[in-house]
Amino acid sequence: MMGQVNDLEMMQLISHRATVKVVHDNFKVIATLLSGIDETNVVATLTDTVNVLTECQKMKIRYAEPTLRIYEEFLELHQMRTVEEIAQYGHKITFEDAGDPGRFKDTIEVLQRLSSIADALGTYLRRGGLGDRLASLLEVITDIERLQTDINHVYFRIDGHRTRFPDYPVLNLLTVHWRSIVTDELRRLRGHAELRPEVKTKTFQSEDQVVVLLEIQNVGRSPADNITIELHQDDSFELIGTGSMEFEIVPSQGSITVEFTISPRTVTPYLSFDLTYDDAESKSKKLAFGDRLEKNTHVREFITTPNPYHAGTALAGKNKSVFYGREQELRYLQQSLISYPTNVVVVLYGQRRSGKTSLLYQLAETDILKPHIPIYIDMQNISLGLTTSEFLYRIAYAISKGMNSAGINTMVPEREQQRDFTILDLDRYLDHVGSLIEQRAIVLMIDEFEIIESKVSDGSIEPEIFHYLRSLMQHRSGINFLFAGVDSIQQLTRDYWSVFFNIAHLRKLSSLDEQASIRLITEPVQGYLEFDPFAVEKIRRLTGDQPYFIQLICYHLVFHCNETRKNYATINDINTVLKSVMLTGASHFRYAWDIATSEERVLLAILAQKGGSEGKSLSLIDIQQENQRFGLSYDYQNALQRLIDRDLVQSSAGGTKFNLPVGLIREWIRQEKPIKRVILEQKSLAV
């Protein structure tokens, strides 16, 4: 049971001369908690109270630490707004934590009962059938009402009489708040599903096979369960593949998208569907609907499409016409590297093939950085046999080459026989360069910079190289640095690179935005190849708007359309080239898998398998259930965050839902790494 700050403790606070006013103001906040708290100000009041108790803890006031922890938990509980958030709660305070269990006994018991209610909501979220879910919510409401009764009649009383403990109004308001959330969920379930199917494909090209896109929206208050969709074949078309599909759920205010493949026999085939589903009102509801397609009779004369896409190779700066979607990053790098009066260090990082090297080519081979002189060094190209001496010489050589390209003649220092190229040699050369460039600066761009660390680790390069680089950054005027490399930036900053990463501007290269993605798909072949709008959306779903995967699909798509003499790309064309895309991209998929930890691999397999081909998002409860099913115990929340940092996992709904945004990676994992196989592999490695 929570105690108040008594008079003696208050005198102890006031005895701290420099904090008299702070303590007086804070005490008024605590007094507000006792008398004026209600549903309109509970979060604000608890926030102020946590601040008060933080000050009390710093002053080592008796019971301040456990009281602070309990009030932090109160604040967290009152900020919950959904059953999913409540279901993740587990009480953090134990009797052992309290120090004086009797003082906090009732409060801790109530927190334990709230944790049991949260567990019951977790069971509700895991249940599949609508009837089971309704029964779970009714049980939870009953448990909340019992707890509310006990808070008012059993807890927070001494000798049978109500005592004014600050915890009582906080917890009483909390049960009201939680009951409201669960009741709203129950009301939502007791509504009915209202499904609105729509055939999105309205026209089709003159082709043997056509993919028909069907979207089913649920605008009702109840989810639809156990959905079966059947397309009935007639004389106007022939079904290719399955004509029946099943889905577990279409959530309230959600939607699903389905693909059927047909071979049209007329210019206006009619598609007739039957939909069966369950909702809160009844089971096996039926809905029949249909729509007619129209053949596009406009036929263009075929023109071979030049293939501008690149499957995995960096885009040269001079070929700017095929460089799309990174304009914002280019502007940022341009402004960072030429606008500051002092030396600048920028670190550009991102996952493999996210376009880092292409960006550096744009900077190195165009006029973007004028009047400064870009110097490009590819560590991958010079890594063989690299030593400290060779690395220093390569810097001088690259600068000399770049200066000559800029019209400033300077000879790279010659290495004397039997003598290494030293720091002194490079410093002398940089002095010479500085006398030639006047108000301009050198922009030293080092690609694959993590190779330097690997060379230090294997003893090829001396670790002092990092201190020398930092010295150049801080004390050698006229040199800006741009490092580009892997997305494991956190590991690098904790090791050698930490000597100068604290003075660097970090910039992560992630996926493209929607408009940039659409431009990259459509503009390079504009005037040659048209895209069905749904084909563009499918490419975006398969690629997660990541430029490498967009280039990979479009590269194969152009070849396919040229072979079939087409100037119009549809979903069917994308489906046709997917096998080739998966084969070409397999090395990238394996790389992403190989660098993942055992915990991350399990998570990737769970998200791919349970998310299905449509990439459904999973909650933490879903993930926890799968781990429990296989008897796994590990810190999956930290593993999730690492995967999010590497853009392999995407979070939504305020960080409570997770999915694999790249459909190609998701499908590769579904095919190659089923959950059971992954778990067996991890167990065999652990033996």
Among candidate residues 553, 584, 615, the one where a domain is terminated: 584
Please indicate, yes or no, if residue 410 is contained in any of the structural domains: yes
Looking up tokens 């965050």 gives 641
On average, the pLDDT of the chain sits at: 85
pLDDT attached to residue 103: 65
Dihedral through CA 660, CA 665, CA 669, CA 670, nearest 10?
70
Please indicate, yes or no, if residue 128 is contained in any of the structural domains: yes
Q: Residue 59's closest CA among 100, 18, 4?
A: 18
For the stretch 433-462, pLDDT in tens is 999 988 889 999 999 988 988 898 899 999
Among candidate residues 189, 219, 254, the one where a domain is terminated: 189
Helices (H) and strands (E) in the chain, counts: 28, 22
Question: How far does Cα 656 stand from its chain's mean position?
Answer: 12
Asked if residue 519 and residue 394 are part of one domain, the reply reads no
**Which has more confidence, 246 or 90?**
246
Please indicate, yes or no, if residue 302 is contained in any of the structural domains: no
CATH code: domain of residue 469: 3.40.50.300
Asked if residue 224 and residue 287 are part of one domain, the reply reads yes
Asked if residue 81 and residue 12 are part of one domain, the reply reads yes
pLDDT attached to residue 493: 53
Q: Residue 488's closest CA among 352, 589, 607, 361?
A: 352
Asked if residue 238 and residue 203 are part of one domain, the reply reads yes
Rounded CA separation 476/468 (Å): 11
Rounded CA separation 184/326 (Å): 44
If one counts every other C-beta atom within 10 angstroms of the C-beta of residue 604, the result is 24
Lowest mean pLDDT among 64-68, 214-218, 237-241, 663-667: 64-68
pTM equals 0.73
In the predicted model, what is the mean pLDDT of residues 418-430?
87
Residue 133: pLDDT band with limits 50, 70, 90: confident
If one counts every other C-beta atom within 10 angstroms of the C-beta of residue 554, the result is 28
Asked if residue 431 and residue 469 are part of one domain, the reply reads yes
CATH code: domain of residue 265: 2.60.40.10
DSSP-derived 3-state class of residue 624: helix
Residues 305, 567: contact at Cβ < 8 Å? yes
Percentage of the residues of the chain whose pLDDT score is greater than 70 = 87
pLDDT surpasses 80 at 672:
yes
Residues 200, 538: contact at Cβ < 8 Å? no
Asked if residue 164 and residue 16 are part of one domain, the reply reads yes
Q: Which ranges of 99-189 does DSSP label H, i.e. alpha helix?
A: 101-126, 130-153, 167-189
The most distant pair of C-alpha atoms in the chain lies apart, rounded to whole Å, by 97
Angle between helix axes 533-543 and 514-522 (nearest 10 degrees) is: 120
Lowest mean pLDDT among 200-204, 336-340, 400-404: 336-340
Please indicate, yes or no, if residue 306 is contained in any of the structural domains: no
Asked if residue 27 and residue 159 are part of one domain, the reply reads yes
**Which has more confidence, 105 or 671?**
671
Looking up tokens 């009951």 gives 179
In the predicted model, what is the mean pLDDT of residues 613-619?
86
Q: Give the chain's domain count.
A: 5
Residues 466, 499: contact at Cβ < 8 Å? yes
Rounded CA separation 323/535 (Å): 21
pLDDT attached to residue 30: 57
**Which has more confidence, 322 or 113?**
113
Residue 286: pLDDT band with limits 50, 70, 90: very high
Asked if residue 554 and residue 487 are part of one domain, the reply reads no
For the stretch 544-594, pLDDT in tens is 999 999 999 999 999 999 999 999 999 999 999 999 999 999 999 998 999
Helix (H) or strand (E) holding 642: helix 636-645
- Which residues contact residue 383 at a Cβ distance below 8 angstroms, ignoring those fewer than 6 apart? 451, 455
Adjacent-strand bridge partners of 278: 225
Residues 242, 215: contact at Cβ < 8 Å? no
Among candidate residues 132, 156, 189, the one where a domain is terminated: 189
Highest mean pLDDT among 156-165, 323-332, 582-591: 582-591
Lowest mean pLDDT among 315-329, 380-394, 406-420: 315-329
**Which has more confidence, 9 or 604?**
604
Please indicate, yes or no, if residue 158 is contained in any of the structural domains: yes
Pairing between strand 650-652 and 618-619?
unpaired
Asked if residue 576 and residue 478 are part of one domain, the reply reads no
CATH code: domain of residue 608: 1.10.10
Asked if residue 154 and residue 64 are part of one domain, the reply reads yes
pLDDT attached to residue 19: 36
Rounded CA separation 543/152 (Å): 56
Q: Residue 109's closest CA among 158, 54, 70?
A: 70
Residues 578, 314: contact at Cβ < 8 Å? no
In the predicted model, what is the mean pLDDT of residues 660-672?
95
In the predicted model, what is the mean pLDDT of residues 200-217?
92
Side-chain half-sphere exposure of 329, counting CA atoms within 13 A:
29
In the predicted model, what is the mean pLDDT of residues 612-638?
85
pLDDT attached to residue 16: 35
Handedness of CA 286, 287, 288, 291 (dihedral sign): negative
For the stretch 345-390, pLDDT in tens is 898 888 887 888 888 988 988 889 989 999 999 998 888 889 999 9
pLDDT attached to residue 650: 93
Percentage of the residues of the chain whose pLDDT score is greater than 90 = 45
Angle between helix axes 675-686 and 598-611 (nearest 10 degrees) is: 170
Please indicate, yes or no, if residue 309 is contained in any of the structural domains: no
What residue numbers bound the domain in which 682 lies? 587-686
> In the structure encoding, which two tokens stand for residue 69, read together?
């922890």
Asked if residue 561 and residue 493 are part of one domain, the reply reads no
pLDDT attached to residue 53: 85
- Burial string for 423-433 (b: 16+ CB within 10 Å, else e) reads bebbeebbeeb
3-state helix vs strand vs coil in the chain, percent to 5: 50, 15, 35
Asked if residue 167 and residue 57 are part of one domain, the reply reads yes
Please indicate, yes or no, if residue 305 is contained in any of the structural domains: no
Residue 7: pLDDT band with limits 50, 70, 90: very low
Lowest mean pLDDT among 85-89, 214-218, 336-340, 506-510: 336-340
For the stretch 484-542, pLDDT in tens is 887 666 555 555 666 666 778 888 888 898 998 999 999 999 999 999 889 999 999 99
Please indicate, yes or no, if residue 666 is contained in any of the structural domains: yes
In the chain, the amino acid numbered 230 is: E
Residues 185, 86: contact at Cβ < 8 Å? no
Rounded CA separation 440/399 (Å): 14
Looking up tokens 């929570």 gives 2
pLDDT attached to residue 8: 36
